[in-house]
A and B are shown apart, each in its own frame.
Chain A
Amino acid sequence: MLRYDNYFIPKNLAEYFDLLLEVKNYRIVAGCTDILPWAREGRAGDVHIENIIDITNIKELDLFDIKKEKITISATTTFQKLFTDPQIRKDIKILPQVAVWFADDQIREQATIGGNLVNASPAGDGAPAFLTLNASVIINGRKDKQIYERKVTLDKFILGRNKVDLQGNEILTAIEMDNTSGYGASFEKVGHRRSLVISTVCVSCVAKTDASGKIFEDIRIAVAGVREVPCRLSKTELFLKGKNINEDNILAASMLELDVINSRSRKEYRKEVLQNFIIRAIIKSVSERITIQENYFDLTKEKQLEGLSV
């Protein structure tokens, strides 16, 4: 059971920073979908925190800006928004895929991407997807009564298991990512069932082919669940860029960084699944129908890819 005495809902950043000066013994919450299951037997047990500070009403955190090159969305954006927003569904295909694999509809209505990132769980789904979108996080803090802003790339923001680069009174306000209009995407997790899955291996991939559809123009792959901190497979990406899209290259790429696995349990299983996932992710990302450029693939090319057996 989570017991607390006061629940604050600051309306803006100034109020938020003022509050942090006034109260001791506090906890910052957003969607509350992590903290409430945590304060139960078998995990943290009964927990008493004097003050809860809920950041979901802070007006500066009400941002949802989609531009041609970059999108900037607030840390309190829910995962469900990534699933339902028509522009995101059209252009940034990796995000609705991440969303549909994340818990279930109801939890997505409450869970925020910021909360997910700040928790920095090794099995967290948001981070690998955002990494493939070259995400940066926007942080606000207040020093000497002045509110400042700083930007950090996501890979530098996540420091370790449950550890992120937030100093002092800093708060994660927004996430800026590439608009991957024109890219295909793939997201996959493995688990013991098809819903409400906490995963041991997860692979996120976005890719773009060149105009002929035969060559990898850009490809970005990130993995999570297999190590303390999610990461991009930069060697693999480098290998594939500019190469022909064919079975041999994909297979060779899938073997390059399997040592990225750094988990204590079920290592053999994770290795095998990871390799298979990488192969599937690459294929799917380049086979995705791209709505803007209708005739991107000529049909014969598609058939070839579908014939790939894995």
Chain B
Amino acid sequence: MAAAWYGIARTAAMDQAGAWAEIDDGGTAKVLTGVTEIGEGILTVLAQVAADELGIKPEQVTIGDNDTSRSPEAAHAGATRQTYMIGNAVAMACRNAKDRLFSEIAKEWNVEKEILQAHDGEIWANGTNYKMPMSDAVKICKKKYGVVPVGSGNYTSHHTGLDPVDGSGKPWQAYVFGGQVAEVEVDTATGEVQILGIWACHDVGKAINPKGVEGQIEGGVVQAVGQALMEDYQQVEGHTTTGSFAKYILPTSLDVPKVTSKIVEDLDPLSPLGAKGIGEPAMVPTAPAIMNAIYDAIGVRIQSLPATPEKILRALGEKKRKSNEKSIN
């Protein structure tokens, strides 16, 4: 097994993200922010956040394209920051837009803004009979009261730099923790290792899309499996010898373990959503868990990655020689 921890968002520097939101005709919404979907599923997460805040369905949210001339800055895709920084920024922007809408609807129904609620495309006033579809509410807000329900939001994560001598400082606001257990099978005839199962448990704060979190864990684990067993970018005198996928070996469908994930939700107390992140932490404990499992299987510890079949057989040979020497002595 192996444990791990990680920090969320930009390291040792302030992190920021901005967003715009508009509740649109038909009770749909437009959200615009500098979001970089690289496959982790952030667009869907943002649609869920917007839908949840605004009281509509995620399928009704349109997220605009990431364009430095058209969308507000939300900084980069990396450092496991987008759910945290942009998710929260979008939440703030949506609250801002919703507030505008609610102010007008409160007038329309002559109720206090605080008792208004919206979910799944309907808006109502708690404790009263007032209720209508969001599409009607938007129409009234715009046509009757002349207010376009737009909003903007920003989220800041307060980090400090590190002291140059002792490294002290507050590099992040939020931390996540995780751990994995690996089960391996070693073919002692060839040194080939197969990873049969990985159990992964990760604290991600509030899991906005649990299936998406699983997908990140499964993907991260397999990337780490690649580094653990087969990938090796090699250069000789500065020239690459592994310059193609024939030589640089990636895990295929036949090489991957079954991954069983469990999500722990230790909500972040400092942010509106309580979510933290998973993208990078997912792959930190994997390689050591695998090496520890190989040791469990054959009593040989590989301390230099990757653990290729050659290294394993060589290590097994060493072990046998040492134990033969011992028994002779």
Contacts and interface: CB of A to CB of B under 8 A. Distances in A.
Given A193-B230, A269-B310, A280 B254 contact: no
Contacts of A24: none
A7 B253 CA distance: 36
B252 interface: yes
Contact of B255 (A190, A195, A198): A195
Interface string B217-246: 000000000000110000000001001101
Given A42-B244, A195-B255, A280-B189, A269 B230 contact: no
B314 A268 contact: yes
By secondary structure, the A interface counts as loop
B229 A272 contact: no
A37 B247 CA distance: 12
Contacts, number: 58
Nearest to B251: A193
A273 B253 contact: no
Interface string B185-215: 0000111101000000000000000000000
Contact of B314 (A40, A190, A269): A269
B313 A193 contact: no
B274 interface: no
B3 interface: no
Contacts of B250: 193
B60 interface: no
Query: Taking each of B230, B249, B250, which has the highest tally of chain A beta carbons within 10 Å of its own beta carbon?
Result: B249
Contacts of A279: 189
Contacts of A190: 190, 192, 309
A266 interface: yes
A192 B252 contact: no
Nearest to B244: A42
Interface in A40-60: 40-43
Contact of A194 (B243, B255, B309): B255
A190 B244 CA distance: 20
B244 A194 contact: no
Contact of A266 (B230, B310, B317): B310
Given A37-B246, A190-B192, A277-B189, A196 B252 contact: yes
Interface string A194-216: 11101000000000000000000
A42 B192 contact: no
Contacts of B313: 269, 272-273
Contact of B252 (A194, A280, A310): A194
A192 B230 contact: yes
A276 interface: yes
Contacts of A192: 192, 229-230, 249, 308-309
Contacts of A277: 189-190
Contacts of B192: 190-192
A276 B250 CA distance: 26
A195 B253 contact: yes
A42 B191 CA distance: 29
Nearest to A201: B190
A40 B254 contact: no
Given A192-B308, A192-B309, A273-B313, A198 B246 contact: yes
Contacts of A42: 240, 243-244
Interface string B274-309: 000000000000000000000000000000000011
Interface string A96-137: 000000000000000000000000000000000000000000
Given A192-B192, A193-B255, A195-B253, 11 more contacts: A43-B244, A192-B308, A192-B309, A193-B249, A194-B252, A268-B317, A269-B191, A269-B313, A276-B189, A277-B190, A280-B189
Q: Which 6 A-B pairs have the closest CB atoms?
A: A276-B189, A194-B254, A42-B243, A195-B252, A192-B230, A190-B190
7 contacts: A37-B244, A190-B192, A193-B229, A195-B253, A269-B309, A269-B314, A276-B189
Interface of A: 37, 40-43, 190-196, 198, 266, 268-269, 272-273, 276-277, 279-280, 310
